[in-house]
Amino acid sequence: MPRAACRPQPGRPGLDPVEPARPGCPSPQSRAPLRRVLGWAALGAVAALVLPAPYASAQPRIDVVGFFPEGAILVIDGSPPRTLRVGQVSPEGVRLVAADGREAVVEAGGRRQSLPLGQAIATQRPTGGRQQAILQGDRQGHFWASGEINGASVRMLVDTGATLITLSAGMARRLGVNYLSGTPTQTSTANGLVRGWKVTLAQVRVGDITLHGIEAAVHEGDNLPIILLGMSFLNRVEMQRDGDRMTLLRRF
């Protein structure tokens, strides 16, 4: 039977509640389940277009703003200050592992990080899978990086004026660096010539960035109280500064 002949005929409201089937045409009742199925399928398609796809959450940004006995005060992703005792976990899932009045050891997303007062670092995988680290400047405009040298936790001052990562002989001994087997050097400083050694560090990590085979300078004695994160590391990252925030992105 032609399709047009199977179209519903106008009924009389209140008198013809059920349209009778005509020979060769499906009854209106048999078409109803199909309409419902097609309707739900259309709704499902719309929902698939509207609902966002799941996405991986980034590591939170953590700022250490204060200490108290056996605890620390943290600002997490710009939240109001949270007071945590050692062992406690914040609503954002950040656990305070240790606090000694100088630095706090926190754990977020299965990763531990040591943060001194006023220091912030957040790590995540940016688009494209490049490793990165985010540093927060202090009141003097200096950027400190908490990380590792040869697997030992250290704190380093970002110094674009230093050709190499620079540390004292005493610090090198604490880190297990056999600097005496390095290349002897002499460096000119404000205090005159300083004896030293040029060495290669097996591994240096800052945030999510891990580099291998990084050259460093070891100065004789303990007159250098800090470790300088110099250009032997910084040349292999892209540096982006936005006010008191610096982002390091690994180049290669």
pLDDT in tens, 206-223: 988 999 999 999 999 888
Name the percent of the chain lying above pLDDT 90: 39
**Residue 65 near residue 119 (C-beta atoms within 8 A):** no
pLDDT at 53: 36
pLDDT at 79: 67
pLDDT in tens, 42-54: 434 433 333 333 3
**Parallel, antiparallel or unpaired: strands 71-76 and 132-136:** unpaired
pLDDT at 229 over 80: yes
Supply the mean pLDDT for the chain: 77
pLDDT at 41 over 80: no
Of 51, 41, 104, whose CA–CA distance to 75 is shortest? 104
**Residue 164 near residue 217 (C-beta atoms within 8 A):** yes
pTM: 0.53
- Higher pLDDT: 84 or 48? It is 84
Q: Which domains does the chain have, with CATH numbers?
A: 59-118 (2.30.30), 123-252 (2.40.70.10)
Q: What single string gives the DSSP state of each residue in 197-237? A: EEEEEEEEEETTEEEEEEEEEEESSS---SEEE-HHHHTTE
The 103-108 sheet, strands edge to edge: 95-99, 103-108, 111-116
**Parallel, antiparallel or unpaired: strands 144-149 and 192-206:** antiparallel
Banded model confidence at residue 7, pLDDT cuts 50, 70, 90: low
The two three-digit tokens of residue 170, written as one number: 């005493």
